[in-house]
Amino acid sequence: MIQIENLSKSFTLHNQGGAVIPVMCGATLTVEPGECVGLIGQSGAGKSTLMRMIYGNYLAAGGQIRIGNVGVVGATPRELIRLRRETLGYVSQFLRVVPRVPTVDVVADPLLQLGVSERQARCRAEELLKRLNIPERLWSLSPTTFSGGEQQRVNIARGFAHPYPALLLDEPTASLDAANRKVVLTLIEEAKSRGAAVLGIFHDQSARDQVCDRLVDVTAFAP
């Protein structure tokens, strides 16, 4: 479902004399449906960068990325939007939202984009917010003033609202207490059992042990 071949990446720092920083070369990995692959490697090794390239936020310098039968490198904006709407979910480390949009709408939004009815989308959003222990009194408020852990859980609810066939999770359990971490791991296990291909970054060893079928060390792709 997720296929990466010979991927390379460097950053050009235009505001610092055009310095070129190579971060990755020859990155190759696959994630099958129903499988969770964990990315490991020390801080700064390029785990999040690899994820951002797969999501099409960062441009790869070379190589191939395929999600199902869609190529990400060289995709048109329209193709990328469609891929993100239907096929590829991404839970980033930090929630980024439009100010003043209520939490329940933030979570329901991916479903509304797919043409799911307002009632159904809201119902699914509320179900996830409940499971992730976001108090009901917060649902009608914007998450911008929420605590770090609350924002992370809203982000996760949003990422799991639609049953994406492929999911990218960047430290989804990082700032959560034990009870909520357990909920997130259960959501990941459920996604796997419905056949989703999951690529995750987990700093927490026990989380990794519980959900990852395999680990890929990105330091092997150091330039």
Ligand X SMILES: Nc1ncnc2c1ncn2[C@@H]1O[C@H](COP(=O)(O)OP(=O)(O)OP(=O)(O)O)[C@@H](O)[C@H]1O
Binding site for Mg ion (CB under 5 A): 48
CA–CA separation, 183 and 204 (whole Å): 15
CA dist list (Å): 50 to 67, 165, 208, 218: 14, 19, 18, 9
Q: Which is nearer to ligand X, 43 or 205 (CB)?
A: 43
Q: Which amino acid is at 129?
A: L
Task: Report d(CA 121, CA 116) in Å as an integer.
Answer: 6
Interaction partner, residue 49 (ligand X, Mg ion, none; CB < 5-8 Å by kind)? ligand X
> With respect to ligand X, which residue has the nearer C-beta, 59 or 114?
59
Q: Contact letters (x/-) for ligand X, 28-67, by CB under 6 A?
A: -------------x-xxxxxxx------------------
Which entry of ligand X, Mg ion, none binds 46, CB below 5 to 8 A by partner kind?
Answer: ligand X
Instruction: Outline where DSSP puts E strands in 16-174.
Output: 19-31, 36-40, 62-67, 70-71, 88-91, 166-170
The answer to whether the beta carbons of residues 204 and 173 sit under 8 Å apart is yes
Decide if residue 23 touches ligand X (CB under 6 A): yes
Residue number, 112 or 174, with CB nearest to ligand X: 174
The residue count for binding ligand X (CB under 6 A) is 11
Crossing angle (nearest 10°) for helices 118-131 and 148-160: 130
Please state the closest distance from residue 90 (CB atom) to Mg ion, in A.
13
User: Minimum distance from CB of 10 to Mg ion (Å)?
Assistant: 17
- Binding residues for ligand X, per CB under 6 A? 11, 21, 23, 41, 43-49
